[in-house]
């Protein structure tokens, strides 16, 4: 499909979880999806599963020069970039600790990926998205950005701030920037890492009393990237079953 007129989506953290689910969804919409992951084997497996509209590339979002080179390569091979989903992140239960417990080295690593990764990828993709009809960036925040005192939640609060900042900065170039803050979504990682009592406690906070599914987050992303959301930018949409509802 190189050189074709297909719209192009770049999805970081594309080897598994939300990233792979986004790839399936946007490939199903006829886009060429580039699954970027620090784990090339995972990205290749995801692309093979998604099908002929998918490509795999290795990339560490914390590496600024590498991200600029990667976005340039994608744009040169496929004619530009229409959608960027900044999904890559450190989010394991082991990282969801107070900063003093997590330690400065691990906290710095998490900021490098969760916060600086969004900055690196956004600025790297920017020149190849300017002026393209429907150009859109979707960042992945978290319900932990609302009231969390843990290091992970602080990084996802920063993602909300970056979303608003980049919406202002890139709006004049025709690029919309929004974010999704998922609640408790029963991905394979969450099932493996989060104890049942914690999951039950979070579900008790929800208004919608069911488990969240990847499809809930994917549906929000499809809408945000669509013409139906063309008047929406700078927003963080909470997909949490009402667990983080505020007025």
- Active site members: 152
- 128 C-beta neighbours (distance < 10 Å), count: 21
Dig out the tokens for 167 from the structure.
């919406």
Helix axis angle, 40-50 relative to 17-28, nearest 10°? 30
Q: β-strand 176-182 against 236-239: which pairing, if any?
A: parallel
Q: Which two tokens stand for residue 51?
A: 């099908």
Helix (H, G, I), strand (E, B) or coil at 148: coil
- Which bin fits 163, alpha (ψ -120 to 50), beta or left (φ > 0)? alpha
* Distance from C-alpha of 95 to C-alpha of 116, rounded to nearest angstrom: 17
Give the CA dihedral 86, 145, 222, 137, nearest 10 degrees.
-40
- Strands 136-140, 176-182: parallel, antiparallel or unpaired by DSSP? parallel
């Amino acid at each position: 499909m190189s050189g074709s007129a297909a719209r192009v989506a770049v999805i970081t953290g594309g080897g598994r979880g939300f990233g792979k689910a986004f790839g399936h969804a946007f490939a199903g919409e006829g886009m060429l999806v580039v699954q970027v992951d620090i784990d090339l084997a995972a990205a290749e497996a995801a692309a093979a599963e998604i099908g002929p509209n998918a490509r795999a590339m290795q990339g560490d979002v914390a590496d600024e020069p590498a991200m600029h080179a990667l976005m340039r390569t994608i744009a040169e091979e496929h004619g530009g970039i229409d959608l960027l989903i900044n999904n890559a992140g450190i989010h394991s239960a082991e990282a969801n600790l107070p900063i003093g417990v997590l330690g400065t080295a691990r906290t710095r690593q998490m900021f490098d990926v969760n916060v600086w990764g969004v900055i690196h990828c956004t600025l790297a993709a920017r020149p190849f998205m300017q002026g393209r009809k429907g150009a859109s960036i979707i960042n992945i925040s978290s319900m932990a950005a609302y009231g969390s005192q843990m290091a992970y939640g602080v990084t996802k609060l920063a993602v909300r701030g970056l979303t608003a900042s980049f919406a202002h900065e890139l709006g004049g170039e025709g690029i919309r920037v929004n974010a999704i803050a998922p609640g408790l979504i029963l991905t394979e990682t969450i099932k493996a890492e989060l104890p049942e009592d914690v999951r039950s406690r979070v579900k008790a906070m929800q208004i919608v009393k069911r488990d969240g599914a990847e499809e809930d987050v994917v549906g929000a992303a499809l809408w945000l990237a669509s013409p139906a959301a063309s008047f929406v930018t700078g927003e963080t949409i909470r997909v949490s079953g009402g667990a983080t509802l505020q007025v």
